Amino acid sequence: MTIGFIGLGIMGKPMAANLIKAGCRLVVYDVERERLADALAKGAQPGASPAEVASRCERIITMLPNSPQVKEVALGMHGIIEGARSGSILIDMSSIAPAASREVAAALAAKGMEMLDAPVSGGEPKAVDGTLAIMVGGKAEVFSQVKDILLKMGSSAVLCGGIGAGNVTKLANQIIVALNIAAMSEALVLATKAGVNPDTVFNAIKGGLAGSTVLNAKAPMVLDGNFKPGFRIELHIKDLQNALDTAYEIGVPIPLTSQVMEIMQALKVEGKAGDDHSGLVQFYEKLAGVKARR
């Protein structure tokens, strides 16, 4: 079976590479053609358009920035819908609004095509080593047909419910990650201002109830002043905006998310949108007049 892969950016490139490494035949496409080079060098075949990729493949994976790009690639001119085969499956691994996933799935269903929304967590490092956590929405019988493909890119793939449920789960994930980073930032800046070494605080608390995967991954970056992105602030802003939009649509208050969104927007205005989201600490450091470093 040949798999189509559309979107070879920071996340898509290593995900496609892991599929090739696992022995999958790939047809790849990206609007920025220079991004194809790595996959082609590893043996993938180029696709001329999303429609052409869909016409050649029974399984198509998309990994794109946000809802508008997914809708354009899936439903726009020369989009997947134009080349769709009846019975083929689109696996959209982008992080987008749940409503957008349902819209695309409904349009593709009219052409006899199935869809799963399957966003991921873990950032570039886990995309590279193939240990992403994959959250899936869609039909159980469709999920069972492609779970083996997903597990070539991730260490887990969990069916969370119907179409859109994967992205709802991803939004929940992104809220928790954002609030964890904000709490960590407040705590480390407080410790620094109080005259206690923040590295000592990190080592003292990481084994207790405050310990978390987020703390272990992001505190060392803060303490080293290393904000080279694994996951950029601007991408987290995108995810939180989708969370806020979804919350407003269904009538759920998420005030803490709103506050972290404002902090990230302030950093964006300061030109830090490309920093890793651990760089959120810089907001607190500026206000307190200290830097939480080793």
- To the nearest 10 degrees (0 to 180), the angle between helices 198-205 and 213-224 is 170
Q: Could you say which of 126, 170, 238, 272 is catalytic?
A: 170
Q: Which of 94, 93, 86 is nearest to 110 (CA)?
A: 86
Burial 32-41 (b: 16+ CB within 10 A, else e): eeebbebbee
184 CA to centre of own chain:
21
Tokens of 278: 């651990």
Alpha-carbon distance 55 to 50, whole Å?
9
Question: Residue 224 is which amino acid?
Answer: D
Contact 13, 71 (CB under 8 A): no
170 in catalytic set: yes
Q: Which two tokens stand for residue 236?
A: 């987290």
Tokens of 122: 């873990």
CA distance 82 to 79: 6
* Residue 127, helix vs strand vs coil: helix
- Strand-pair category, 25-29 with 154-161: unpaired
Q: Residue 227: how many CB atoms within 10 A of its CB?
A: 20
Active site residues: 170
